[in-house]
Amino acid sequence: MTALAPADPKPDARPRSAAGLETLARHAEALAAQRAGERRGPFRPARLTSARDRQTLRLSSHYFRLYDWMGLAAVTLIGAHLALNRDLMGAAVAELLPFLLAAGLALALLRTLGLYAFRAHEGLPEHLMKTTGAMALAGLAGIALAAPFGFAGSLGGWTAAALLVTAGLHALWWSQVRSWRRSGALTPNIVIVGATRRAQTLIEAALARRDLNVLGVFDDRLSRAPRDVAGVPVLGNVEDLLGHRMMPAVDHIVLAVDPGARSRTRQIYERLSSAPQAVSMVVDDPARGGAGQAEALRRLAEAPLARLEQMNEERRAFAKRLQDLLLGALILIAALPVMAVTAVLVKLDSPGPAFFRQRRHGFNNEEIVVWKFRTMRVESADARAERQVTADDDRVTRLGRFLRKTSLDELPQLLNVISGEMSLVGPRPHAIGMKTGHEESARLVADYAHRHRIKPGMTGWAAVNGSRGPLHTAADVARRVRLDIEYVERQSFWLDLWIMAITAPVLLGDRHAVR
């Protein structure tokens, strides 16, 4: 006899108690979760980690290197002090040079040998062997330089101490990265476009490797697509992909259509160009058999920590994060008295809470909750920004007009900066579903999502170039997006400092912008 699955609960017209309604709600949630699980496929984890959180972990390689610098600096200062037996401020440069060169060479070797990548298949003994070799080589060079000064023995002590400190730190780093890999926090999330035989081959190879997550398959010819490809569900077409709620967790979009179909490939590429994620096509080389696909999967799945060898996007993101933490903390401390007074004045000016929270787009289209001082009456609050602010807007309070004009209402966003959801400088975060006229702003410009390839900021290139406040026309949206993309492409430490330096005079001197 065939066992039948339990039927869906039918609506009951009879009145229910509160406990009965709660039980029914829990049953409905469990049933929905079961159905969602059936559509997860063999790869998708129960809990998706956002691309921003994974990027934060990937940037840990820079923090590891910073801690190594601090550890070696301490060992070097102590070693030099013991060797010279006097205040280092009075030491000759030649006497300190062997210690400094040994430490510098050690740090250079650790970086050159790729010891901050923590590759997935590198064991702890292998990693510590490379670390020990780098420190020993640096120590020998220091001993050779110190011999003429008569304290080669002190450099020997420095080598032993530096080796122990560095090996201990790297064992700790290795264990932490291994824990992240086991939990899936570093595992890349990809989606595949094209429910094709090529996609099936790719998924089967990935399934055998088990070191990346294929969240779903999308196809531009949905009517011809199967329900799933090798167990991974087909979740919709390309338009469905761009608007899917799991997109903030996606790291990479892989195109699996036939590259010979150039017109179709070009159309898909053009449509996906509005996504903040990278788009790649896996192309098989017949001369190499399946080696090309295996290499592509290895590069996608290995997910090493951020590289240190060159000035890349991750290194720039690390520098920007340090800038946000250091400057953001200092600004927050300085602004606390102003924020406390403002919070009291908001409460006195009109009934309601001092703060206003709004869901906005963040990095990689992730939804974040942004904090502001409340500037509108509670009954008129517009969390979705369906009606943008106009001059003499009756929803804005008396104090709110001043706060918006001076941008003091945005000071609480320093909390978003410290938490890593925002940056001091970047594209301004727009409300989820914000409308320009009667149309959603995100639909008015094809490149709109490109502005989310970097964290949103409290101020930005657009703000200091006149694009500030509400966007009333499609032309306003296009100009804002153009300026934001220009910033994303040009972003640097010095540009950020310049934008922060001119923000106050530019915004306070702007008598035309409506906020």
* Residue 120: per-residue pLDDT: 76
* Residue 94: per-residue pLDDT: 72
Runs of H (alpha helix) within 356-444: 398-406, 413-419
Residue type, 450: H
The pair of three-digit structure tokens given for residue 464, joined into one six-digit string = 């200091």
* Residue 509: per-residue pLDDT: 61
* Residue 78: per-residue pLDDT: 85
* Residue 14: per-residue pLDDT: 42
* Residue 128: per-residue pLDDT: 93
DSSP 61-122: HHHHHHHHHHHHHHHHHHHHHHHHTS-GGGS-HHHHHHHHHHHHHHHHHHHHTTTTT--TT-
Give me Rg for the CA atoms of the chain.
28
In angstroms, rounded to a whole number, what is the distance separating the alpha carbons of residues 479 and 451? 12
How far is C-alpha 167 from the chain's CA centre? 29
Runs of H (alpha helix) within 113-151: 124-146
The 3-state DSSP class for residue 457 equals: strand
DSSP 271-317: HHTTSSSEEEE----GGGTTHHHHHHHHHHHH-PSPP-SS--HHHHH
* Residue 325: per-residue pLDDT: 92
* Residue 15: per-residue pLDDT: 44
In angstroms, rounded to a whole number, what is the distance separating the alpha carbons of residues 148 and 218? 69
* Residue 294: per-residue pLDDT: 66
End-to-end CA separation in angstroms for the chain: 69
* Residue 308: per-residue pLDDT: 58
Residue type, 330: L
Rounded mean pLDDT for each run of 10 residues along the chain, 515 residues in total: 36 45 48 46 72 82 90 88 73 76 89 85 90 89 76 77 92 91 82 87 81 86 85 88 85 82 82 80 55 64 57 75 92 93 92 89 86 86 68 82 87 93 90 72 66 87 82 81 87 90 77 55
* Residue 6: per-residue pLDDT: 35
Ranges of each domain in the chain: 53-183, 189-302, 313-508
For the domain spanning 189-302, the CATH number is 3.40.50.20
339-360 in b/e form (b: 16+ CB < 10 A) is: beebbeebeebeebebebebeb
In angstroms, rounded to a whole number, what is the distance separating the alpha carbons of residues 440 and 280? 29
Distances (CA, A) of 132 to 122, 167, 169, 460: 15, 7, 12, 45
Residue type, 335: A
Does residue 153 contact residue 113 with C-beta atoms inside 8 Å? no
* Beta strand residue intervals within 109-243, DSSP E: 189-193, 213-218, 228-229, 232-236
* Residue 499: per-residue pLDDT: 92
123-137 in b/e form (b: 16+ CB < 10 A) is: eeeebbebbeebbbe
